[in-house]
Chain A
Amino acid sequence: MASQCLVASFADPDSLLAAVTAIRARGIKVYDVYAPFPVHGLDQAMGLRPSRLGFVSLAAGTLGLLAALAFQFYANVFDWSMNVGGKPDNSTLAFVPITFEITILAAGLATAFAFFLRAGLFPGASAALAAPGVTDDRFAIVLRWKSTGLEATEAHLILRERGAIDVRHVAIGAER
């Protein structure tokens, strides 16, 4: 399906921020922004919704907690009841530390994996850059349309006057 992109490179975060704001002010959708570090204020400028990774943590943590408790209870009370130092089979207090550790472990790992999944990061994933140096010292805005129209030229101008050091039209497929 034919579509094409407009890639504008910037040299400093401030002008990038300004450009993004201006573009969105004109109602043009920003496809994505590429930067060597998380530029503060971009979330609002791009209007990104806050990530929902927190819910993953919560869910996984709760799951780990319940699983750990249930397993220790099962092992000590049902499967293999033993007289250990005269303590009762269900020494729940003694189960707390392990339960806690499992909770943390589950939450941590699940969150990390959720992140990798959502961000499509995995060993050997292709990493074509929007513009040279976006992982080093450049910042890039990528706009994307089904077909070139007035909007594109307008965006081109806006980006230029917001201090883009280089604006290019790229055929589809180059970007993600």
Chain B
Amino acid sequence: MTTPITFWRSIEELRAQSDVAGGRDCLAALRARGQQPAVPSRRDFLSLAGFSVAAAAFSACSRGAEQKAIPFLNQPEGMTAGVDNWYATTCGGCRAGCGLLVKTRDGRPIKIEGNSQSALSGGGTCAVGQATVLSLYDEERLEGPLWQGRPASWTEVDARIEELLSPGGARPKRIALLSRTVLGPATRALVAEWSAGRGLRHIVYEPISLAALRRATRAAFGVDAIPHFGFGRARTIVAIEADFLGTWLSPVEFTRDYASGRRPEGAAAMSRHIHFESSLSLTGSNADLRVPIAPSEQGAVVLGLLRRIARKLGAGDPVEALETTFDARALDIAAEDLWQHRGESLVVCGARDFDTQIVVHAINALLGNIGRTVDVDLPSLQQMGDDEAMAQLVDDMRRGEVDALILYGVNPAYDYPRADRFVQAMKQVPLTVSFSDRLDETAALADAVCPDHHFLEAWGDAEPVASSFSLAQPTIRPLFDTRAAQDSLLKWLGRQPDFYAYLRDHWRRALYPRQQQFATFDEFWDRALHDGVFALPESRTARAARPLMADWRRSAERIRSSAQTSRAWHEGRFEAHVYETVALRDGAHANNPWLQELPDPVTKVTWGNYAVVAPAVATRLGITAGDVVSLEGRNLHAELPVWVQPGQSPHAVSIALGYGRSRAGRVGSGLGTNAFPLLAGDGQASVPSLAITRTGRHEPLAATQTHHSMEGRDIVRQISPAAFVDRALDPHEVEEAASLWPARPAAEHAWGMAVDLNACTGCSACVTACQAENNVPVVGKDEVRRGREMHWIRIDRYYTGGEDDPATVVQPMMCQHCGNAPCEPVCPVLATVHSSDGLNQQVYNRCVGTRYCENNCPYKVRRFNWFDYANNGRFDFNMNSPLGRMVLNPDVTVRSRGVMEKCSLCVQRIQAAKLAARQEERMPADGDIRTACQQVCPAEAIVFGDLNDPASRVARLAKSPRGYRVLEQLGTRPSVHYLAKIKNAPDGDRS
């Protein structure tokens, strides 16, 4: 007989031919046993059919995906499922220490709002503050302590650290604590205790340091701090390279204060703001007169002012003038204005040069502003960085004179200008401990990482300005096995690691005695904890002027001489200029997608930094926005795309700080270029210079606005004060265009909004607030490039005038909730209709996504879900992780793919307020309802309310002589009213 042919498909199979029963070919196995493969019988068929039918039937009974909804077994005290709880705390987003109210739902903090009780920051916050709640749910956070890079238990880590810190041995251990400015008095006390007990050396390090200003203040007034500036009281504000509305010192407080001094309807005359800077900043874009200067000219500006003021004082010319690249008449105007308002004027300067700051103090002193707009009695404690100490520490570390280094909230391996030297130095330190919440550039090199709580999980306090205190309390039980830095310090000090007790005790000892308001400490504590803020009475008393102790003449002389050193642009190079962006600041929040996707208030670019050059320069070099250039400088060799910025000094190339993180996390790592090296060397005397060469590559920037002229259209109205006075006389009624149809019956409400373009600075906090409140998805760099960002509110920014020195206007633009909405009649399925109380509603689950409404919207405020943005790997941001989704607002639907969405005027808040009012059997009062954008605005530029109620704020604002509506002539009858901007230009009616 013939042997059966055996086929094989692979060597393995061939070799395995022996074990035919090896399941590779069961028929073969059967054949080998001389059997026939089983032919299914009728019985088998029936049984199988029966099974499959039954299976089909049962599968049809399934309920689909299971969702966990676990009720409270025993309900926590004072918490009801689905009802908000609010806690007062202090913001840890930056060192400004604004007071916050945190909205928690079912134990999760989901929204941050300003604490209106705070005398400093008020009810407003900034974009960063808004976004900090998302950092809480950052997947990159460490879930427990690390020893030598691997997870360890707290006991183990503590044991090792305590062993290494123990004073045993020949000499006491030299321990250094390197921290950011410590705002909390209690924490400061704790650190002081360490210093006393263990000879701890505490170095305060600020990556973007105001040390020069602080030193100058110490020299000038003997106060080791930064003066507390009062922008609200100043009638004339002259700022030199100080972006005080966006990033400088305490933006929220300053914005609020600044806006309060610029209300044309107000009793006092509107303040005038003159700004000298190299690159158009948020603050500069709001100035009444803005002068582009080269970075090395800050000294020249202050000298120019000093000379003019001194002359007016009859003090002669302290120092001869410096030639400037800008029109010196601006200095005459500024000096004249300052002189006119001496005593109620203010000069601030962001220079990192001691002498310049001395001269600025001198000018303020000569103008008699000290004690009025410049408060040195109760100074700001928000920026206590000390550059010399830091440099000294690095040297000592390199020399091996530091036995242990504790890093608290700092990341010098990234943001120290000489990061490489610091990293070297770190290697010489036997023990380095980091409190970082993630494995960032520095923590990655540390022996131990003892992750600190997120500030929303921790106890704490703050004293941002002397005698103004605020408390921080946990709003959620720690998500991970983290420990408060203070607890760690207490533990290693051999104390009970209970910072809460320590904090309470410190307030009992240090603060309670200083107030008379409360009889018992418990009352005092409960009240302070409830309000979140507490101000000592003296914070409200008037200040006396202080004598100027420093010799400003010598400083002036030094400035003049140092300025003689040849300027970079003479050799065809450019002066490097670095700045903070409103969104990313110093880069600590680089992994926060909300901030990465927040359009820069001026450039409107998201996701990454770029080299900002002046239009003239761009033309000269033949480059346009997005062209990649290589920058060569002493400390920086980088290639990055160009942004052509009107108003940029032709001598400066500006690069934003906070980018180029290598270990920020999934979202923030590898975006842009790190510009901190450019900060090396202090002061203007040594402004680093850069050479630009084209690479020929092009890398389109993700900008949300690509056209910057209003094309002569009546979109943002701007009038001069004079014109405003004339207009104020004639009464203004909101007149409607004639209609062919009978008006629909009026309902009980007509919700509307008023946006004061004069108050709005364009800081964009509202954009992030809206994103947080309304679950607006993050779409990422590519989608923004395609023009698909999802923000419900945007800040339109237009330039007027020449491109070298343009005037800037901004306009918050959200759904206008038109009375005759063009988007409504075109929807085939009635997915967008008008509510009886004047809202233009979008019905997500009815929408089929024809996008006709988007096309027909004159304001282009509608946003389409091009993809699924939640639970989608293509968009790996917070909505793609269970942790990140904890931030979502349960009151707002997460939109699915293929539906249109847009601003709803926070309808969930309207409904909540109506419900609350109904329960109290009353109508919702004016001010009950505050939309997210209104609530967050530090300048109080946005007012929401009922246009039907003539007494409501919004109704009165709508009738303001400045009131108008965008594209009114189309007959869309928008419910959003705008108040024209007033440009208080020195040369009268320039508007």
A94, B741: Cα distance in complex, Å: 13
Is residue B786 contacting chain A, with contact meaning CB distance below 8 A?
no
**Interface 1/0 per residue, A83-98 and B, CB below 8 Å:** 1111110000010000
A108, B86: Cα distance in complex, Å: 68
Is residue A66 contacting chain B, with contact meaning CB distance below 8 A?
no
Is residue A112 contacting chain B, with contact meaning CB distance below 8 A?
no
Is residue A53 contacting chain B, with contact meaning CB distance below 8 A?
no
Judge whether B825 and A82 touch: CB under 8 Å.
no
Residues of chain B within 8 A (CB-CB) of A84 are 824-825, 830, 833-834
Judge whether A82 and B744 touch: CB under 8 Å.
no
Judge whether A82 and B833 touch: CB under 8 Å.
yes
A85, B744: Cα distance in complex, Å: 11
A85, B818: Cα distance in complex, Å: 8
Is residue B819 contacting chain A, with contact meaning CB distance below 8 A?
yes
A97 shortest CB reach to chain B, Å: 13
Q: A88-B741, A88-B742 are in contact. Are A83 and B822 (CB under 8 A)?
A: no
Which single member of B739, B742, B823, B836 contacts A83 (CB below 8 Å)? Answer: B836
Judge whether A85 and B820 touch: CB under 8 Å.
yes
Is residue B821 contacting chain A, with contact meaning CB distance below 8 A?
yes
A48 shortest CB reach to chain B, Å: 48
Which single member of B742, B743, B822, B835 contacts A85 (CB below 8 Å)? Answer: B822
Is residue B973 contacting chain A, with contact meaning CB distance below 8 A?
yes
Residues of chain B within 8 A (CB-CB) of A83 are 744, 824, 833-836
A87, B825: Cα distance in complex, Å: 8
Q: How many A-B residue pairs have CB under 8 A?
A: 37
A85, B825: Cα distance in complex, Å: 6
Majority secondary structure, A binding face: loop
Residues of B in contact (CB 8 Å), total 18
The chain B residue sitting closest to A83, CB to CB, is: B834
**Interface 1/0 per residue, A60-84 and B, CB below 8 Å:** 0000000000000000000000111
B818 shortest CB reach to chain A, Å: 8
A82, B829: Cα distance in complex, Å: 12
**Interface 1/0 per residue, B825-840 and A, CB below 8 Å:** 1000010011110000
Judge whether B830 and A86 touch: CB under 8 Å.
no
Which single member of B820, B835, B836 contacts A86 (CB below 8 Å)? Answer: B820
A84, B743: Cα distance in complex, Å: 12
A82 shortest CB reach to chain B, Å: 5
A88 shortest CB reach to chain B, Å: 5
The chain B residue sitting closest to A89, CB to CB, is: B744
Which single member of A82, A85, A88, A94 contacts B821 (CB below 8 Å)? Answer: A85
Residues of chain A within 8 A (CB-CB) of B743 are 86
**Interface 1/0 per residue, B871-914 and A, CB below 8 Å:** 00000000000000000000000000000000000000000000
**Interface 1/0 per residue, B245-269 and A, CB below 8 Å:** 0000000000000000000000000
**Interface 1/0 per residue, B737-759 and A, CB below 8 Å:** 00101111000000000000000
Residues of chain B within 8 A (CB-CB) of A94 are 825
The chain A residue sitting closest to B836, CB to CB, is: A83
A86, B838: Cα distance in complex, Å: 10
Residues of chain B within 8 A (CB-CB) of A85 are 820-825, 834
A82, B824: Cα distance in complex, Å: 11
A81, B752: Cα distance in complex, Å: 23
A57 shortest CB reach to chain B, Å: 30
Chain B 327-377 interface residues, beta-carbon cutoff 8 Å to A: none
A88, B740: Cα distance in complex, Å: 10
B682 shortest CB reach to chain A, Å: 62
A77, B270: Cα distance in complex, Å: 54
Residues of chain B within 8 A (CB-CB) of A87 are 741, 820, 825
A94 shortest CB reach to chain B, Å: 8
A79 shortest CB reach to chain B, Å: 13
A89 shortest CB reach to chain B, Å: 9
A175, B282: Cα distance in complex, Å: 95
Residues of chain A within 8 A (CB-CB) of B830 are 82, 84
A87, B743: Cα distance in complex, Å: 8
A55, B973: Cα distance in complex, Å: 50
Among A83, A85, A86, max chain B CB count under 10 A is at: A85
A136 shortest CB reach to chain B, Å: 50
A84 shortest CB reach to chain B, Å: 5
Residues of chain A within 8 A (CB-CB) of B824 are 83-85
A86, B822: Cα distance in complex, Å: 9
The chain B residue sitting closest to A82, CB to CB, is: B833
B829 shortest CB reach to chain A, Å: 12
Chain B 717-744 interface residues, beta-carbon cutoff 8 Å to A: 739, 741-744
Judge whether A86 and B834 touch: CB under 8 Å.
yes
Judge whether A86 and B833 touch: CB under 8 Å.
no
Judge whether A86 and B819 touch: CB under 8 Å.
yes
The chain B residue sitting closest to A88, CB to CB, is: B741
The chain A residue sitting closest to B822, CB to CB, is: A85
A86, B973: Cα distance in complex, Å: 10
B634 shortest CB reach to chain A, Å: 62
Residues of chain A within 8 A (CB-CB) of B741 are 86-88
Chain A 85-126 interface residues, beta-carbon cutoff 8 Å to B: 85-88, 94
**Interface 1/0 per residue, B537-565 and A, CB below 8 Å:** 00000000000000000000000000000
A94, B824: Cα distance in complex, Å: 14
Among A84, A86, A87, max chain B CB count under 10 A is at: A86
A16 shortest CB reach to chain B, Å: 56
A83, B750: Cα distance in complex, Å: 14
A2 shortest CB reach to chain B, Å: 59
Chain B 649-687 interface residues, beta-carbon cutoff 8 Å to A: none
Chain B 828-855 interface residues, beta-carbon cutoff 8 Å to A: 830, 833-836
Residues of chain A within 8 A (CB-CB) of B825 are 84-85, 87, 94
A85, B823: Cα distance in complex, Å: 7
B956 shortest CB reach to chain A, Å: 24
The chain A residue sitting closest to B743, CB to CB, is: A86
A110, B923: Cα distance in complex, Å: 59
A62, B833: Cα distance in complex, Å: 33
The chain A residue sitting closest to B819, CB to CB, is: A86
Residues of chain B within 8 A (CB-CB) of A82 are 830, 833-834
Residues of chain A within 8 A (CB-CB) of B820 are 85-87
Residues of chain A within 8 A (CB-CB) of B823 are 85
A74 shortest CB reach to chain B, Å: 16
9 extra interface residue pairs, beta carbon distance < 8 Å, beyond A83-B836, A84-B834, A86-B741: A84-B824, A84-B830, A84-B833, A85-B823, A85-B824, A85-B834, A86-B820, A86-B834, A87-B825
Across the A-B interface, the 8 shortest Cβ-Cβ residue pairs = A83-B834, A85-B824, A86-B820, A85-B825, A84-B824, A88-B741, A85-B821, A82-B833
Interface pairs (19), CB distance under 8 Å: A82-B830, A82-B833, A82-B834, A83-B833, A83-B834, A84-B825, A84-B834, A85-B820, A85-B821, A85-B822, A85-B824, A85-B825, A85-B834, A86-B819, A86-B821, A86-B973, A87-B820, A88-B742, A94-B825
